Homo-oligomer: A and B are copies of this chain.
Amino acid sequence: MTEFLDQRDDWLTTNCSIARALEVVGNRSTLLLLREASFGTRRFDDFARRVGISEPVAAARLKRLVADGLLELRPYRQPGQRTRDEYVLTAKGQELLPVLVALRQWGDSWAADEAGPSVRVEHHDCGAVVHARLRCEAGHDVTPGELDVRPGPGLLRP
């Protein structure tokens, strides 16, 4: 595996899933909007205010998130109000939650306030705190130091 890594060169740039993911969620405001969506925020100005971004930015990013299929618009109606659209996470958006959990976990460990984290994410069924963990398909817990990188089927050689 070491040889593989030493020999490789610019192939990663061409087909890297991390880079592709970052084209969709590779900026601060997008990830914070997804955080809000995961907390149940659904309305335009709640998104803008709670994330702390301006309305034009919120509008552009939310539009992009809908176009990319991470959020969907769903009509709803509050009593005494007219029909509106609310933004709801799709399955594609929900599957990004491990990224957010992992980011929060890192922030809790390395950049937290003295008072501790402001939120706690629990397992709905049992109330225990939830973490993002690495695990292999053989069922072992894996630490960051135990990762090996190998060529995959989509590897493009120079």
Q: Give A43 Cβ to nearest chain B Cβ, in Å.
A: 12
Please tell me if the beta carbons of B136 and A129 are within 8 angstroms of each other in the complex. Answer: yes
Which residues of B lie under 8 Å from residue A54 when comparing CB positions?
A: none
List residues of A (116-153) whose CB comes within 8 Å of B's CBs.
Answer: 116-138, 140, 142, 144-153
Compute how far the CA of A38 lies from the CA of B147 in the bound complex, rounded to whole angstroms. Answer: 9
Does residue A66 face the partner (Cβ distance < 8 Å to B)? no
Given contacts A12-B50, A138-B123, contact A104 B151 (CB under 8 A): no
Query: A residues bordering B, Cβ < 8 Å?
Result: 2, 5-6, 9-28, 31-32, 35-36, 38-40, 49-52, 92, 94-138, 140, 142, 144-156
